[in-house]
Structure 1
Amino acid sequence: MSTLIIAIMVPFIAAAMIPFLYKKIVKLHIGWFAMLVSTILFIYLARFIPSIARGETFAHTINWMPSYGINFAAYLDGLSLILALLITGVGSLVILYSIFYLSSKESLGHFYTYLMLFMGAMLGVVMSDNMMVMYVFWELTSISSFLLIAFWYQRKRSREGAKKSLLITVSGGIAMLVGFIMIYVMTGTWSIREVIAGAGGFASHHLFIPAMLLLLLGAFTKSAQFPFHIWLPDAMEAPTPVSAYLHSATMVKAGIYLVARFTPVFGGEAIWFWLVTGVGLVTLFWGSFHAVRQKDLKALLAYSTVSQLGMIMSMFGMGSAALYFGYSTESVVYTQATFAALFHLVNHSTFKGALFMVIGIVDHEVGTRDIRRLGGLATLMPFTFTIAMIGSFSMAGLPPFNGFLSKEMFFTAALTIHEAGIFSLDAWGTLIPIIAWVASIFTFVYSMIIVFKTFLGPYQEEKLEHPAKEPPVGMLIAPGILALAVVGIFFFPNLLGDYLLTPAMAGIFPSFATEGLGVSIYAWHGFNREIWMTIGVVVAGILLYRFRTYWMGIYKIFDDKWSFNSLYSYVISFMEESSTTFTNSYMTGYLRDYMVYIYLFFIVAIGGTIIYTGTYAFDISGNAPITEFEWILTFVMMIAGISILFAKSRLTAILLNSILGYGVAAFFVLFRAPDLALTQTVVETVTTVLFLVAYYFLPEWQKEDVPRKSRNVNLIISVSVGVIFTVIALAVQNGKLFESISSYFEDSYKLAGGNNIVNSILGDFRALDTMLEVVVLLIAGIGVYTFIRLKAKKEDEHIENQ
């Protein structure tokens, strides 16, 4: 097994080990083990940086279902390396932070198990080359994030937030799966690299646009783009380490990664450009506009995350225009928007991760995140204040912090793209820099709210649950490192650009010359349009912040009952009520009704198919003659079956039913199938005995007086089912709609190494189905064992209490 695939699987192995280690390691915090795993993975992946910077890529494949082209293929290039380093690097810092943040009374074994599951799933998403394998990991991120968001499951809001995130992201994931299947139909391959290599050859296919739309639906839901952003603020009910990891650095970047990865396939198309750019800009504005109104610091950061994700998404959309022109000097200019998107993706992970941790520190130390109760913490929490200021000013786009550099590049991209002269940009392109500038003003305002409303102004100790003080040093290390990265990237941005961003650009624009994709990052470009836009943002932002009491009333227009959250709640409520009404209409509690439903469906579906396809014709002239013994068995079974209807006791009905079973066994003997006859005899004997034992304890059977109308309906259904089965049995030899598969299984020895066809089918051809059946039995066994243990534990506690 290759080292890349091992790297993906290591977090899953760690997740399996943590429950056992958690019970064994009492003195050592289990978080240190999780941190060791993620740190080793980060160091391992960092070793690839020099090779990736030289233009190398790494790929390893393990055959899984090669006949279907579905294999566990891991692929590492510049784009996947950036995300993988963020997943493991920020993950290590988050785990370090969580060790000091979470109480030892929490269920830490569960927490770090879920965290490792999520880390492995994210590594699988960004390093998978096979679309089906990527989808498996994609949905694993939704499931593991659901578990993390609902970690404090005692709280209703945590459960609701987890449910909302799961419903929205999994729904988008299913849409993405359908898009993947369409891409496979168009290209004949599940390999992402092969799809990219053949890009342009299937753009005229009728599934091209539907596949694009479904793919974007998956990306937009995962990355909380408008109008699917509503799950992200509610997901903030998770513990702060989860928010810092999932909702700033990793999970929400999965959708952005998907857009970046498939830009070579769909980029250059007007629909892709306007959807990615337009949705990104709307999300940028909507998130920043609503962040200002929040009273909870974590909610403010949630909407700011939505806004920043929209900004990154819009830049990927702008950069895709380069593929419209093909490789040329003009097109390389537009690729700089993609470079800026990658740059801000890294920058956002640093300053937003630090800010989430700072807000967690404030909540942890003073007991509240309510902005109205905070203020004056700077003198009492100077280190926390310093980190908060660095993160907030970087998010606002001020120097000397990395957010300033990528924000300037965002303005450059917005100003450049509206002059492209394609995709009707001459008419609508002017809106791009305007929206970017206005959204940046709101970004500046909410960044100032974090600093000035939380750390400056009067100290309101009477409104706090605890007096303000600095947290333990261990809790400051992780956000401190991220704050240092914020400043360090500002002064040495080209180290990041040359070794990570430029190689990532080669992964997004593989047909372009690599040397034309690199961008030298400078803090000062003179008094150009971008710097004047920044000055305008600062001036307008200061004025809006200073006089915010005069214009905050505008938010009253956006009544909560008309929000997307209300729409979501209404849809969920309507679906629950409708499903309850519909279920109650047929779940009558009578087994007789359920059998009627089943047989009616059978009659309509099978009978209708037989009539529609004309397969009811049959010819029995060529069949083998029926012997005397077969006639005798048939009449005996017919008499037994009819007699059951008139039985007046359960014992009689059971014995008559067993005659049917033993009759089938006798037929197997006549047809020279002793193994089936033996199996049928054993099963029938055991079943009859169990029936007799069970019915012995039941009260005396009183035959139900069924209305005449019901009896007539039952008669019609019974006769219809019998006729259909008879027709199927007679017509199966002549009415073949498809070629028989029996000839394939006859060669079982060559294909599966087994002489017995039945055993080969069960053990090899249906191995996956058989394995899942065994898993079901295992789960049932675990459930029974758990109930037994719980009952024994309660009895022991009862005895101890006495």
Structure 2
Amino acid sequence: MSLLHIMIFIPFLFAILVPFIHKMCNPRIHTGWFVLIVPLGIFLYLLKYIPLTASGKTALFELSWMPSLGINFTAYLDGLALIFALLITGIGALVILYSIYYLSKEKEALHNFYVYLLLFMGAMLGLVFSDNIFVLYVFWELTSISSFLLIAYWYHRKNSRYGAQKAMLITIAGGLAMLAGLILLSIMADTYSVREMMSIAQEIASHKLFLPAMILLLLGAFTKSAQFPFSIWLPDAMEAPTPISAYLHSATMVKAGIYLVARFTPVFGGSAEWFWLVTGAGILTLLYGSLNAVQQKDLKALLAYSTISQLGLIMSLLGLGSAALYYRTGNEASVYAFAVAAAIFHLINHSTFKGSLFMVIGIIDHEAGTRDLRRLGGLAALMPVSFTLAIIGSFAMAGLPPFNGFLSKEMFFTSVLTLIEQPVFGAKTLAVLIPIIAWAASVFTFIYCMILVFKTFTGKHHPEKLDKPVHEAPLGMLLPPMILAALVIGIFFFPNVIADYFLKPALAAVVPAQTGLDIKISAWHGWNKEVFMTIGVIACGSLLYRSLKKWSPVYQLYPKRFTLNHAYNLVLQGMEDLSLKITKRYMTGFVRDYLVYIFFTIILVLGGALWLLGGTSFNFSKNAPVNAFEVGMVIGMIMAVLTVLLAKLRLTAIIALGALGFLVSLLFVVFRAPDLALTQLVVETVTTVLFLLCFYHLPELRKEKSRISFKLTNLVISLGVGSVFTVLALSANNHRFSETISSFFEDSYTLAGAKNMVNAILVDFRGLDTMLEILVLCIAGLGVFTLIHMGDKGQETGSSLLEKIRSNDVILRTVTKAASIIIFTFAVYLFFGGHHNPGGGFVGGLSGAAGLILLYLAFDFETIRENIPVDFKKLAAAGVLIAVMTGAGSFLFQAPFMSQTFGHVELPVFGDTELATALIFDLGVALAVVGTAMTIILTISEDES
């Protein structure tokens, strides 16, 4: 595993530790100080790659994940990935520093905040460094999930929940479309590597799936980066705390779509469809965002629409720059490649001035108690530092000197004018229209920047409209925006440092043929068209700002029923109403009805497929003869089933069901499957107790007058399911399309050091399956616990059911002491012996749970708790964590996930001893099984409802 991989995984690993750090650290010390180490350390580490990428080189590190499927975590670092990674970690560090002073350690759930933030940071780092498209997709969706958690951080607020839901629905839907596009792309290119796709871009362009793949991919990019018409989620996401808004919506999440377009420009760029889709969406988003920002009364809403507008600007530049791949070489290609450089430059600039502005708005909200422009005014004298920072950030966004936004805005004007001077893809009318839209949007950008500064900080102060006296923020809260504001000014005076070390390497990644393009950025180029456009922006913007009250009422004329938000709400409400109508049709409240749906579907799908596809063919010639002993067991099983069906008492039914299970385990013994027999025996023992506990809560059996239809339906369904699965099993035995894999597993001792083939399959060959199974088991246990204890907070709990049914007999207690020792010893034997003999972590854990259940039945709870002070929920969680960490530990040795190894060592007493990492994994399985089984049993026993 490379250090770059470790840098990606560190935020995830630290996220696991944050709750423990939060709980153990001194209450006077903010948890953020510990978390700050993570982004700061990664940022400092990544700085060492700047000379590498500046020299035109790249770095590639491969980590095996699923090599048999061609899916490995290949970390690819070039100029483009490095810029995004530095923004993610650098601004992440500043945001965490800001949050230390913004979020109260007494009032906020800081451990949740930093866990979500670190998850998001790790997901973004994994996204920008992934070369494998499906690994990239995994991180892509992880950003959507973690951003949902961040936006809904104040989940007690309705607007926070609404904003988080809207963001997740839109971005997840786009992500699914992107996944479909990536699948099509992998089919066209016959590779999962973005680098390899770039090398065969011409072959991909001629494929019939080229356009569908492009559209699907862009849907993912447009939804994530809030491009029109998918931009409606971003303003509602502003309900999150300001540190989250500053991080997600200025520097990271919304830039993921920008990154995706930039990364796949070498694959799709050069085509007219890509050019017009990306440029068109960007320029419309630029205008839409700037027009809507002007009418906002909430400062964060204003910044949200300004972010939409600025993202549209960057996206349109990437679209314009993709024309360089159409020309490939020559002056025309260089002219359009300049737009890509402008896009990347403005991306960097936007992260600095917008991050600073978000933090300033957060300071105003924190100190004044409101973000409403109608209640603010005259804050310049009370908050002089914040006022200065607001001027720097706002004027940079407006494109005024001496701030970095002026430079990238001039480059933007140069790029859109290129369409007039050098038309491409038949652009005639649009060659004039796009610069006009760009200029008009810039005018409105100037207006909302002036609103942000002057409506907030100048004019008359109204303390009576505020909830508390206003004063300047503490230095710790001011320091992060001050650092960003310093960068805003510093980049203006030294832009070519950015150009040489960042823009040129990133340009080479987006437009590979333009590696030698000389990028020189300066504040003055003479009296050219761009300068006159800027003067026009300032003049018209100033005039419109001064007359804002006269023309702003025009916004009220637009009917709200025609807005995108209204359309979204209507669609969502319609979907909910439709689903509610459908759900009411089949959700009757009776488990029997749900089982009928499930079993009928099985009969219809499987039975229909067998019949229509002609899959029902049998061959009994190779079957072993059936002896009288086996016939007797089958008859016994039939009798047990009939007893369950016809029993009038639940206790009789439970006993009959247990007898059926034990007969099945006996059948496993006859067929020489001791592992299955052991597991079945222990499972039957534990589930019998579980059934007893569950049936205790059910009402008395009632005799109904007419149950003919009920029994007839049961008969038809049961015969149908039984027949379908019998035919399916017999047919499957007769259809072998390939050689059996059993010969591979027979070599388990050589491959896994295990003489017990079954255990080797569970913990080595198919360890991932087992890990997911125990995860599902733990989720089921937590589900039982949550459902039963839902709404029980603050209520007195009575004695448990186990205590009620527990016998006080001295003989039982005496026998239990001896029996439990035997059971626990046997459980330990099964656990350690499972690698070579029947047993293993699963059956060992179940045996241990059976011993604990016996103790709980015989003794009172207080005695057990004093002698076994274990929280079984935490035990189950620890088991899953051990299993996952064992699987992830293989990464340290450049091996795929869940790889196991073994070896022989000489121990003083035991001599030659075999040690296998599978034993650690099996330990996790055992703990998870014990913890989950006991959680379910004890939770149900304590339910007195």
Q: Could you say which TM-score interval applies, normalised by the shorter chain?
A: over 0.9
1:240 alignment counterpart: 242
Report if the CA contact (8 A) 2:507-2:515 is conserved: no
What are the within-5 Å matches in structure 2 for residues 384-423 of structure 1? Answer: 384-423=386-425
1:258 alignment counterpart: 260
Report Cα offsets for 1:417-436 as digits up to 9, x if no partner.
24443322124222111110
2:506 alignment counterpart: 504
CA shift for structure 1 position 274: 1.0
1:722 alignment counterpart: 722
Change (3 A) 1:518 1:33: farther
1:94 alignment counterpart: 95
Quick one: distance in 1 between partners of 2:200 and 2:494? Answer: 38
Report if the CA contact (8 A) 1:387-1:483 is conserved: yes
Change (3 A) 1:712 1:244: same
Matched, 1:212 2:230: no
Picking from 426, 440, 453, the partner of 2:455 is 453
Change (3 A) 1:695 1:395: closer
Quick one: distance in 1 between partners of 2:421 and 2:322? Answer: 15
Report if the CA contact (8 A) 2:11-2:121 is conserved: yes
1:298 alignment counterpart: 300
2:599 alignment counterpart: 599
> In the alignment, residue 273 of structure 1 is paired with which amino acid?
F
Report if the CA contact (8 A) 1:63-1:72 is conserved: yes
What are the within-5 Å matches in structure 2 for residues 343-492 of structure 1? Answer: 343-492=345-494
Matched, 1:535 2:535: yes
1:8 alignment counterpart: 8
- Root mean square deviation, CA, Å: 2.7
Change (3 A) 1:748 1:213: farther
2:53 alignment counterpart: 52
Provide the secondary structure at the position in 2 that maps to 1:75: strand
> In the alignment, residue 43 of structure 1 is paired with which amino acid?
L
Change (3 A) 1:790 1:25: farther
Provide the secondary structure at the position in 1 that maps to 2:588: coil
Report Cα offsets for 1:347-385 as digits up to 9, x if no partner.
111111111111112222222211122222222322211
Report if the CA contact (8 A) 2:324-2:334 is conserved: yes
Matched, 1:103 2:100: no
1:27 alignment counterpart: 28
> In the alignment, residue 217 of structure 1 is paired with which amino acid?
L
**Normalised by the size of structure 1, how large is the TM-score?**
0.93
CA shift for structure 1 position 208: 2.2
> In the alignment, residue 770 of structure 2 is paired with which amino acid?
T
CA shift for structure 1 position 502: 0.7
1:180 alignment counterpart: 182
Quick one: distance in 2 between partners of 1:630 and 1:788? Answer: 43
> In the alignment, residue 723 of structure 2 is paired with which amino acid?
V
> In the alignment, residue 82 of structure 1 is paired with which amino acid?
I
Report if the CA contact (8 A) 1:419-1:425 is conserved: no
Quick one: distance in 2 between partners of 1:296 and 1:485? Answer: 27
Quick one: distance in 1 between partners of 2:785 and 2:587? Answer: 31
What are the within-5 Å matches in structure 2 for residues 771-782 of structure 1? Answer: 771-779=771-779
1:625 alignment counterpart: 625
CA shift for structure 1 position 748: 4.5
1:567 alignment counterpart: 567
- Matched-pair identity in %: 60
Provide the secondary structure at the position in 1 that maps to 2:232: helix
2:733 alignment counterpart: 733
Quick one: distance in 2 between partners of 1:321 and 1:738? Answer: 50
CA shift for structure 1 position 318: 0.4
> In the alignment, residue 325 of structure 2 is paired with which amino acid?
L
2:132 alignment counterpart: 130
Return 583-592 or 82-91, whichever deviates more.
583-592
2:274 alignment counterpart: 272
Quick one: distance in 2 between partners of 1:100 and 1:645? Answer: 66
1:516 alignment counterpart: 516
Return 223-232 or 305-314, whichever deviates more.
223-232
Report if the CA contact (8 A) 1:616-1:735 is conserved: no
Quick one: distance in 1 between partners of 2:784 and 2:716? Answer: 42
Change (3 A) 1:650 1:437: same
Return 262-271 or 478-487, whichever deviates more.
478-487
CA shift for structure 1 position 699: 6.1
Quick one: distance in 2 between partners of 1:204 and 1:722? Answer: 52
Change (3 A) 1:316 1:763: same
- In structure 1, runs of 5+ residues without a counterpart are none
Report if the CA contact (8 A) 1:321-1:334 is conserved: yes
Change (3 A) 1:672 1:58: closer
Quick one: distance in 1 between partners of 2:681 and 2:366? Answer: 68
Report if the CA contact (8 A) 1:497-1:518 is conserved: no
Quick one: distance in 2 between partners of 1:787 and 1:583? Answer: 21
Change (3 A) 1:697 1:286: closer
Change (3 A) 1:100 1:620: closer
> In the alignment, residue 571 of structure 1 is paired with which amino acid?
V
Change (3 A) 1:595 1:785: closer
Change (3 A) 1:689 1:173: closer
CA shift for structure 1 position 642: 4.2
Quick one: distance in 2 between partners of 1:712 and 1:796? Answer: 46
> In the alignment, residue 469 of structure 2 is paired with which amino acid?
P
1:333 alignment counterpart: 335
> In the alignment, residue 545 of structure 2 is paired with which amino acid?
Y
Provide the secondary structure at the position in 1 that maps to 2:76: strand
> In the alignment, residue 56 of structure 1 is paired with which amino acid?
K
2:75 alignment counterpart: 74
Change (3 A) 1:693 1:5: closer
Quick one: distance in 2 between partners of 1:677 and 1:318? Answer: 68
CA shift for structure 1 position 779: 4.9
Q: Work out the number of aligned pairs and report it.
A: 796
> In the alignment, residue 49 of structure 1 is paired with which amino acid?
I
Report Cα offsets for 1:394-434 as digits up to 9, x if no partner.
11111111111111111111010244433221242221111
Report if the CA contact (8 A) 1:419-1:426 is conserved: no
Change (3 A) 1:585 1:14: same
Change (3 A) 1:689 1:529: closer
Change (3 A) 1:29 1:650: closer
Quick one: distance in 2 between partners of 1:463 and 1:697? Answer: 58
CA shift for structure 1 position 45: 1.4
**Normalised by the size of structure 2, how large is the TM-score?**
0.80
CA shift for structure 1 position 82: 0.9
Report Cα offsets for 1:731-770 as digits up to 9, x if no partner.
3333456765545545545655544443333222321121
Quick one: distance in 2 between partners of 1:89 and 1:150? Answer: 24
Provide the secondary structure at the position in 1 that maps to 2:201: coil
Report if the CA contact (8 A) 2:420-2:432 is conserved: yes
Report Cα offsets for 1:647-704 as digits up to 9, x if no partner.
4333444444445434434433443434434443444455456546765786653343
CA shift for structure 1 position 500: 0.7
Change (3 A) 1:686 1:148: closer
1:141 alignment counterpart: 143
Change (3 A) 1:366 1:663: closer
> In the alignment, residue 302 of structure 1 is paired with which amino acid?
A
> In the alignment, residue 405 of structure 2 is paired with which amino acid?
G
